[in-house]
Amino acid sequence: KNEVEQSPQNLTAQEGEFITINCSYSVGISALHWLQQHPGGGIVSLFMLSSGKKKHGRLIATINIQEKHSSLHITASHPRDSAVYICAVRYKYSGGGADGLTFGKGTHLIIQP
Amino acid sequence: EAQVTQNPRYLITVTGKKLTVTCSQNMNHEYMSWYRQDPGLGLRQIYYSMNVEVTDKGDVPEGYKVSRKEKRNFPLILESPSPNQTSLYFCASSRGTPSYNEQFFGPGTRLTVL
């Protein structure tokens, strides 16, 4: 089965730093999702994109279809950004009957005051 | 408020005792899905449903059943739970397939099978 690779696995930074989390996938996709999982476990969708770039507040997501790579950036990071960030893709041809997303293992981000 | 609800949030049970985890959404979404999350493995799809009475297997369906009799509800049934089904379970819904639609997740159900 096609994988989704995220890096880094763990990231600790100081408040105010610019954060970049990377996601790579292997073959053609229909869509890429960035999700945020809070320390309490709840999951929130941040972005869904299939090309280009999207911005929401201090969060920016980009995707390069040719390089099969996406990045999630956080500007002016804050302790409340501490969470696990998960990349998920919908492969065009997932096979096996599954119609869902294939998930990366997540990046555990800690922002220290 | 638009939301996906799951019950129970926490459950400790014993091997072989049938259980049901309920999932309900109030957004009139057609697509619903169940995932399990395990340390080191990430989220994996168990079953999904494209609409009422339409369900299909995901990546890890063994030991689970689902039904979709109403649009809003998508219960997950473990007929004979085993310890390897100890996990964190998430229900999710979206207007349509995740190819083109944002997914909304429930709060999660932490299941322990002894």
* B8 upstream amide cis, omega within 30 of 0: yes
Nearest CA-CA partner of B112 in B90, B92, B86, B94? B86
CB pairs under 8 A between A and B: 71
**Pick from B42, B50, B88: CB nearest A103:** B42
Once rounded to an integer, what is the mean pLDDT over residues A68-92?
A: 94
Looking at the DSSP bridge assignments, the partners of residue B38 are B42
CB contact under 8 A, B108 and A42: yes
CB contact under 8 A, A104 and B48: no
Q: What is the largest CA-CA distance in chain A?
A: 46
Query: Rounded CA gap, A66 and A96, in Å?
Result: 26
Once rounded to an integer, what is the mean pLDDT over residues A41-67?
A: 94
Hey, is B12 helix, strand or coil? Answer: strand
pLDDT of B64 higher than 90: yes
Outline where DSSP puts E strands in B26-86.
31-38, 42-51, 54-57, 65-66, 76-78
Residue B32 one-letter amino acid: M
Cβ-proximal residues to B13 (8 Å cutoff; 6+ apart), any chain? B19, B81, B111, B112, B113, B114
pLDDT interval class at B2 (50, 70, 90): confident
pLDDT interval class at A66 (50, 70, 90): very high
